Structure 1
Amino acid sequence: MVCALGAAVCFGTATVLQAMAARTAAASGGGEAALLLRALRQWRYLAGLALDGLGFLLQIAALRSIPIYAVGAALASSLAVTAVVAARLLRVRLSRIEWGAVGVVCAGLAMLGLASGPEGDRAGSTALKYAMLAAAGAVLLLGLVAGRLPERGRALLLGLGAGFGFGVVEVAVRLIDDLSPGALLANPAAYALLLGGGAAFLLLTSALQRGSVTTATAGMVIGETIGPAAVGVVWLGDRTREGLAWLAVLGFAVAVAGALALARFGEAPQETAAEPRAVPSHPGDFP
């Protein structure tokens, strides 16, 4: 759980650092390519990328130790981290409701920490590995369909698709036991991880560019938490501590609800500057 919370801190802080770099880079004007090049020359943006990488390593460690439902809820809480850090560094004003949502997220994670059992002991069948690969392909198809919808529906569907893709990554990590080159090449879960992560990143980027940030981020939080949690419980043997299943369910629901209330912080730059946006850096944001 410490690793999962550490990953959330890394992802949430990275978002704000990259937002600060984007604001500075945007002051000189120019297109998206010029903005990105200027941002890459700033230590804040590079520090954000480093935090993204560290967060992903911590996410892997967490997924190998505790149930997927606990990791997913913890990663969704990176929005709370972004909100708190943005309030401090970017001077974003949080309402009382948003501060309350931060507290709700913390309460939900505390309940999850108390109720979570060890990682499930099932290895995952070959059929499940191929199912994850098929799900990753479906995420790409979903992106093609969503691109033709009206703006509001498009942002929600693209966000959901991105969440499903990041969920594929979470499950795929659990389905990879042998890291030798030969075993990885023969494991469908390895391809599912790459395809699902790449598709999710593209869909989320498209959603944030073409529609409501809040709607897209809310869809992503739902997609990356509920589905993977169900897979972990049903097919991988994730369980809670004896007699605390109700507390885990309550904590999961409370943490996700709090994250949804903070969905506007899925992309801090939009809330703090009118200039071009930085690439988002939630967990899911870069697998």
Structure 2
Amino acid sequence: MIVAYGVANLLQSIAASRTTMHHTLDPGLLVRLLGHRIYLYGIGCQVLGFFLALVARRDLPLFLVQASVAAGLGVTAVLGVVVLKWQLPKSEILLLAALVLGIGGLVMAAEPAPSRPLDLIGKISLVLALLIIAGLGFFAVRIKGAPGSVVLGALSGLGFACAAVAARPLASSHSIFEFVSSPLLYLVIAHSLSAQLLLGLAMQRGSTNAAVAAMDAAGAVPAAVVGLLLLGDRIRPGLTWLAALGFLVTLGSVIALTRYAEPQARTDSAPDLAAEDAAPAAPSDVVSHRRPAANTRPVRPVVNGHTPLMDLPTREYPALSETSGR
């Protein structure tokens, strides 16, 4: 699950950074993202991670599963260094090591147990939470830059936390019919889709680390509290201190990673890759071996502040002229 979510974060962030910027809570963003093959690969990894997490939630407490989801950020960072040449400072490497230790402490402290059923009040609360998160997202989408990335990522985390709360008792269903007919299944789908939309908007406004860290930090705490209070999550006797320490170290490491997150370099006028994939390349899009003209400059796509490892073709765009009035 950790590896699947880490790969999904990386692939989806690349697709989001190459899609036209959205300044409204437009579900059409998901449609445009689905036009990118790389985003579909990311969705595939996320679906795999979701089902693995669902199996884990059948017996494992939410404070362990949700904190483990946060560890996917470490996989994303490592893949970014290897594939996209991201630059990680030594402090961030130490935080990734602390993240691993925190997860290890949670694994040792968690006691497997089936979930308690969620009553009618709990289900109604999840419906109200969906409406509240959507309303806050309507206003938060107007925030630009890294702050917008963090706020939208946090709202996305709350959505995924609600989905996790609904999924824990849902995973204890005794038959396929009980699973499909349960309203919890449709609450999981609704919260997951809205959270996915908010995460896509967050990744457009800042770095992958900032968006995902805010999502994980905001999603882990509410789910852990609800699991311990209402769903029957258990801690091994005498290891409450280890569970608390592991949870704090994990969340602290994830939150601290946002300090080193650099905004992605992009402009609102950047071409939408969905349109480019659908239309044949124009003559100007063909790789040229001629020397650039005097009034042109080469432009390379940038992901997370760094040029991808692959040697992508350059394009020649007319440079802005002070005398032309453009």
Give the TM-score taking structure 1 as reference length: 0.77
* CA displacement, residues 228-249 of structure 1 (integer Å, 9 cap, x when unaligned): 0000000011111011011001
- What letter corresponds to residue 306 of structure 2 in structure 1? T
More deviation, 202-211/191-200 = 202-211
Distance in 2 of aligned mates of 1:219 and 1:18: 16
SS of the counterpart of 1:94? coil
Distance in 1 of aligned mates of 2:103 and 2:263: 19
Query: Which residue number in structure 2 is paired with residue 262 of structure 1?
Result: 257
Distance in 1 of aligned mates of 2:45 and 2:11: 10
Give the TM-score taking structure 2 as reference length: 0.69
> Where do 1:75-90 residues align within 5 Å?
75-90=69-84
- Return the match for 1:227 from 215, 222, 244: 222
Higher relative contact order (CA 8 A, sep 6+): 1
Query: Which residue number in structure 1 is paired with residue 46 of structure 2?
Result: 52
* CA displacement, residues 173-224 of structure 1 (integer Å, 9 cap, x when unaligned): 1132446457644x44233212211111122222232456554433312211
Distance in 2 of aligned mates of 1:92 and 1:67: 34
Query: Which residue number in structure 1 is paired with residue 6 of structure 2?
Result: 12
Query: Which residue number in structure 1 is paired with residue 135 of structure 2?
Result: 141
- Return the match for 2:306 from 253, 272, 286: 272
1:173 partnered with 2:150 = no
CA pair 93-195 structure 1, distance change in 2 beyond 3 A: same
Query: Which residue number in structure 2 is paired with residue 93 of structure 1?
Result: 87
More deviation, 77-86/149-158 = 149-158
* CA displacement, residues 88-135 of structure 1 (integer Å, 9 cap, x when unaligned): 222222211111011000100111111111135422222112211211
Distance in 1 of aligned mates of 2:39 and 2:185: 29
RMSD, aligned CA = 3.4
Distance in 1 of aligned mates of 2:199 and 2:13: 17
> Where do 1:99-178 residues align within 5 Å?
99-148=93-142, 154-176=148-170, 177-178=172-173
CA pair 118-184 structure 1, distance change in 2 beyond 3 A: same
Query: Which residue number in structure 2 is paired with residue 285 of structure 1?
Result: none
- What letter corresponds to residue 62 of structure 2 in structure 1? I
The structure with the greater share of residues assigned to helix is: 1
Tell me, which stretches of 5 or more residues in structure 1 are unaligned?
1-6, 275-287
Distance in 2 of aligned mates of 1:54 and 1:8: 10
Distance in 1 of aligned mates of 2:307 and 2:132: 35
- What letter corresponds to residue 80 of structure 1 in structure 2? G
More deviation, 261-270/101-110 = 261-270
- What letter corresponds to residue 51 of structure 1 in structure 2? C
Would the aligned equivalents of 2:34 and 2:40 in 1 still touch at CA under 8 Å? no
Distance in 2 of aligned mates of 1:92 and 1:125: 46
Larger Rg: 2
Q: How far 1:258 moved relative to its partner?
A: 1.5
